[in-house]
């Protein structure tokens, strides 16, 4: 029996795996921001209202936000903060 050792760079695999996971999480968040946002309904978050420029908006059920100043509602673009 012969043993042939072939080298695999596990770091490279891990990096590719990590990139794939991040990609899939990011596209999932884009499609279903409500998955995260429904846990934060009623909370005030930092985002700029595109209508009046207010920098605080309130999270709504269903993946949107509402500006408490002018009542403008918008969809949220979730950006994961990887650490």
Site residues (CB under 5 A) for Zn ion? 49, 51-52, 54, 67, 69-70, 72
Q: Which is nearer to Zn ion, 24 or 50 (CB)?
A: 50
Q: State the nearest-atom distance from the C-beta of 37 to Zn ion, in Å.
A: 18
Q: Provide the 3-class DSSP secondary structure of residue 3.
A: coil
Residue among 74, 65, 73, 80 nearest 28 (CA): 80
Q: State the nearest-atom distance from the C-beta of 58 to Zn ion, in Å.
A: 11
Q: State the nearest-atom distance from the C-beta of 57 to Zn ion, in Å.
A: 8
Q: Which is nearer to Zn ion, 44 or 51 (CB)?
A: 51
Q: Residue 12: which residues within 8 A CB-CB, separation 6 or more?
A: none
Contact predicate 65/57, CB 8 Å: yes
Q: How far apart are the C-alpha atoms of 49 and 23, rounded to whole Å?
A: 27
Q: Which is nearer to Zn ion, 40 or 56 (CB)?
A: 56
């Amino acid at each position: 029996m012969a043993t042939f050792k072939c080298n695999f760079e596990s770091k490279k695999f891990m990096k590719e795996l990590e990139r794939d996971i991040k990609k899939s999480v990011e596209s999932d968040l884009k499609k279903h921001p409500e998955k995260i946002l429904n846990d934060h309904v009623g909370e005030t978050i930092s985002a700029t209202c595109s209508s009046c420029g207010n920098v605080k908006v309130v999270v709504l059920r269903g993946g949107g936000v509402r500006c408490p100043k002018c009542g403008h509602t918008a969809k949220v673009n979730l950006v994961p903060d990887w650490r």
